[in-house]
Amino acid sequence: MGMAVAVVLAAGLGTRVGADGNKAYLPLAGRSMLAWSLLTPAEHPDIDRTILVFRRGERDLAAATLRRELPHAVVELVEGGDTRHASEFNVLGHLAPDIEAGTVDVIAIHDAARPLAGPEMYRNAVALAREHGGALPALPLRHVAGVADATLVAGVAPATLRPTVGQGELMRVQTPQAFRAPELWRAYRCAERDGFTGTDTSSCVEHYTDLEVRTFPGSATNLKVTYLRDVAVADLLLNARVGSGPTAAPR
């Protein structure tokens, strides 16, 4: 069994949340969102290496944030690309020598915008990826309805709606998503060759491999900070976590 690597992606912007710049550096409960998202994998016994993918031009900001907020954590820095997919390709290229040597066998990719992913989520993702090939946390989408007949007649919309899928058949996918490293790297090399861009890690894996990707229960608190209201909710939840455990930010 090789090493498990956790990758935290923080190369995006914060347009929808209203941030002036990269939302990963928004303050939450005494730390930046980025630091909270790195804290769990950096301290996790099942994770051997943790990598932060930073936005181009923000290496100094990322390094200073880590020194100030996670002074004891060992975190590697890799520059991101213009898209999520490009950032993933960059970090896989960084890991390629260790993947090809068999040193790294599982990679878990997580969004910096999900600062509340807990240790159990990483434990499940890594274990299932090693056993089956891939794993991702998911929650069922409930109360889904579709249009029974989408044809417009004389400008009149259909009068009826009916459920088109049962509860539990559609899922809301979260991160961290974990995959066996050799197949993941091969999928991204194929995507680079073909000009394919996936919406997330699992979409590229699904397109180019036959890996069996298992889902496991996600968490309602593992929210993605996308809008301004999400900042307030995440701050509240993290403050509650600080109050109940030894994870208070350094003063």
Domain count along the chain: 1
What's the confidence (pLDDT) of residue 78? Answer: 98
Distance, CA of 184 to chain centre: 15
> Does 38 map to a domain?
yes
Residue range 37-66: average pLDDT? 97
pLDDT of residue 210: 95
Mean pLDDT of 209-216: 95
Q: Is residue 76 part of a domain?
A: yes
More confident residue, 223 or 1: 223
Q: Which of 26, 95, 12, 30 is nearest to 250 (CA)?
A: 30
CA 230 to chain CA centroid, nearest Å: 16
Distance CA 33, CA 25 (A): 6
Q: What is the mean pLDDT of residues 44-52?
A: 98
Q: Is 89 part of a structural domain of the chain?
A: yes
CATH label of the domain that carries residue 57: 3.90.550.10
Q: What residues make up the domain containing 213?
A: 3-138+171-244
Beta bridge partners of 228: none
Residue 44, pLDDT score: 98
Question: What pLDDT score does 242 carry?
Answer: 85
Predicted confidence (pLDDT) per residue in 144-201, tens digit:
555 444 444 444 444 433 333 344 468 889 999 999 999 999 999 999 999 999 888 9
Amino acid at residue number 223: L
50 occurs within a structural domain: yes
pLDDT of 14 strictly over 90: no
CA end-to-end span of the chain: 39
- Distance of alpha carbon 250 from alpha carbon 117, whole angstroms: 20
Name the token pair of 102.
Answer: 């068999």
pTM across the whole model: 0.86
Name the pairing type of β-strands 3-10 and 104-111. parallel
Q: Enumerate the H helices of 101-158 as residue ranges.
A: 119-132
Lowest mean pLDDT among 41-45, 184-188, 225-229: 225-229
Angle between helices 181-194 and 84-100 (to 10 degrees): 130
Q: Are 251 and 242 in contact (CB under 8 A)?
A: no
Question: Is residue 147 domain-resident?
Answer: no
- The whole-number pLDDT of residue 16 equals 58
Look at residues 188, 189, 215 and name the one whose alpha carbon lies nearest to residue 203. Answer: 188
Nearest 5 degrees, angle CA 214-CA 186-CA 34?
Answer: 65
In a domain, 207, yes or no: yes
CA 127 – CA 12 distance, rounded (Å): 29
Confidence band (pLDDT; 50, 70, 90) for 20? low
C-alpha span between 4 and 48 (Å, rounded)? 5
Q: What is the mean pLDDT of residues 120-132?
A: 98
Residue 235 lies in a domain: yes
Q: Is residue 146 part of a domain?
A: no
Structure tokens at 142: 């409930």
Confidence of residue 213 (pLDDT cuts 50, 70, 90): very high
